[in-house]
Chain A
Amino acid sequence: MPINYYIFLAISLFCIGIVGVLTRRNAIIIFMCIELMLNAVNLLLVAFSKMHHLNGMAQGNPAAGTDGQLFVFFIMVVAAAEVSVGLAIIVMMYRNIHSVDVNFLNRLKH
């Protein structure tokens, strides 16, 4: 399959994530949209990795393209760390105002 299909799929997922972050008001859903953005990137990295691997094989370099897949694991680990901190922050917020609506966040502007 041509690489273009993968690029279009990943970009579409990424854009859905961005639109979700910009329009939703619930902190958890915003958070899910951010995860969607990260996973779109993962998908794209794996697709590119495969593409570079095939190109590299043609030139006699079997190790080409492995770094893209390695990067995906790092993104997963960092995303997990981010989730743990982010959910803790959302819970801390919920304890104080009993809501996860980000419209509360405009109290700092004065």
Chain B
Amino acid sequence: MNVLIVSAILGVVMLFSGVLLKQTRIVRAIAIIGMAVLLVINILEISGTSFFNIHTYGMMHFDRFALLFNSIVLFSTLVYFILSAKDMEKVGIHYGEYFALIFFIVCGIVLVASFKSLLILFLGVEIISIPLYILTGSDKKNLKSNEASLKYFLMGAFSTGLMLMGIALIYGATGTFNASEMTFPAARPSILPVAGMLLLLFSMAFKVSAAPFHFWTPDVYDGAPTVFTSFMATIVKAAVFIGFIRLFDEAFGSFNAEWQTWIAVITVITLFIGNITAVFQQSVKRMLAYSSIAQAGFMLLAVYAMNTDAKEGILLYTAAYCLATIGIFAVLAKMSDYTFEGFNGMARQQPMIALLTTIFFLSLAGIPLTAGFLAKFYMLKAALGAGGSLWVVIFAVLMAAVSVWYYFRVIQAMYFKDGQATVQVSPFFKWTLAVLAAVVILLGIFPNLLLYWYYF
């Protein structure tokens, strides 16, 4: 509750500071300090200090899972602000508003992560989506940005329609919006709740860009300004995943026989399309968009398994994926050429940046000693624990091997090809990136540093 309220207030503060303050440096400082404050008060809430005691009538539930996820999100956003906030100046003149929208998105993330009532889930998803439509189209003169924005908007509104229909049908069948009070006839559910559940499944698959509902993703991620792609491909996607998991755990946990096969099929298609299409991309930004689809396939394994390992795993996966991808996008935003050739010879020009980027790519590919490896390991372990799903696990491992191919193409370009990769970075940026890489490796060796907080 702390983060929800303070984040909304900070959004308004940023709105005014964008109008009143002329110097972007001060606006940026307020945003970074604000995000740090959010992180601190969230950790205070984990340790039992809540500043606001508001009765939500059972609509929200701030359990440890939600609070820990909020901490990961806030930490990632803080890192994202420190690394990429300067690049937002290039997008347009409304500097303060961009931060304000991101603070509002954080509100939505908190709602989605801690919903009990489907009303809150709907509101949270919309509060995440609507500012994102604006951020996608924030480069107003750029036609690609416009197109991406319109496409994202139409697809997002359409999937919202599906989600609402699903909620309405489920309300009709159960008479409640509260996820944990829903009772379904166990033996043979009627058409109403099953249709509602499927519509909700499809709309959530839309939002997390799982195949076959992924077709908007590459275009939108490619067209949006790179700094904002970074945010929506990582933090927002992970947040919708948490909503996905909570929904199917609490509301539909009792009739998982109906949806588990659907999820397995969606997982396999997502892994296949994401990884295979990423191999053929020419632009690193577009490759990362497909890679985010592939990673969503791995995260779907958690929805499929739905056990304790899956919940630990999704937290670790969120941290590993968000931190590594934010690092890569931060470097990408500093570059002028987004093709693979643009990375040629970076090891010679900027040895430290090249090394750190390599660590992030290794983590995404799931090489041991990085956080990405353990995250993938937890996912596979959870899927095995769910029982009777060996073929999904084998397929996921095969696809992880394919993913090495396209991640290593960038590393190969940086180290083994000659060229003039131009990337202008400050020493501060370099050291922040180094700390981020250190966190990625640290989580890969001691995942309990994070998972400890889930239990104690």
Contact = CB atoms under 8 A, between A and B. Distances in A.
A71 B147 contact: no
29 contacts: A10-B168, A27-B154, A31-B154, A31-B157, A34-B157, A40-B165, A41-B168, A44-B168, A44-B172, A48-B171, A48-B175, A65-B175, A75-B122, A78-B126, A81-B126, A85-B153, A86-B133, A89-B133, A89-B146, A89-B149, A89-B153, A92-B137, A93-B147, A96-B141, A104-B147, A105-B219, A107-B147, A108-B144, A108-B148
A45 B154 contact: no
A57 B219 CA distance: 51
A96 B146 contact: yes
Contact of B144 (A3, A48, A107): A107
The A interface is mostly helix, strand or loop, or mixed, namely helix
Contact of A105 (B133, B151, B168, B175): B151
Contact of A67 (B140, B154, B176): B176
Contacts of A41: 161, 164-165, 167-168
B97 interface: no
Interface of A: 3, 7, 10, 14, 17-18, 21, 27, 30-31, 34, 37-38, 40-41, 44-45, 48, 51-52, 55-56, 64-65, 67-68, 70-71, 74-75, 78, 81-82, 85-86, 88-90, 92-93, 96-97, 102, 104-105, 107-109
B33 interface: no
Contact of A78 (B122, B150, B223): B122
Nearest to B222: A108
B168 A38 contact: no
Contact of A45 (B146, B160, B171, B176): B171
B128 to A, nearest CB: 12
Nearest to B220: A108
Nearest to B283: A110
Nearest to A109: B219
Interface residues on B, range: 35 or more
B282 to A, nearest CB: 8
B29 to A, nearest CB: 29
Contact of B130 (A34, A71, A81): A81
Given A45-B168, A78-B122, A82-B157, A102 B150 contact: yes
A68 B133 CA distance: 28
Nearest to A94: B146
A76 to B, nearest CB: 12
A3 B192 CA distance: 12
Contacts of A105: 147, 150-151, 219
A107 B126 CA distance: 27
B161 A34 contact: yes
A78 B133 contact: no
Nearest to B163: A41
Nearest to A48: B172
A10 to B, nearest CB: 8
B442 interface: no
Contacts of B137: 89, 92
A65 B168 CA distance: 12
B143 interface: yes
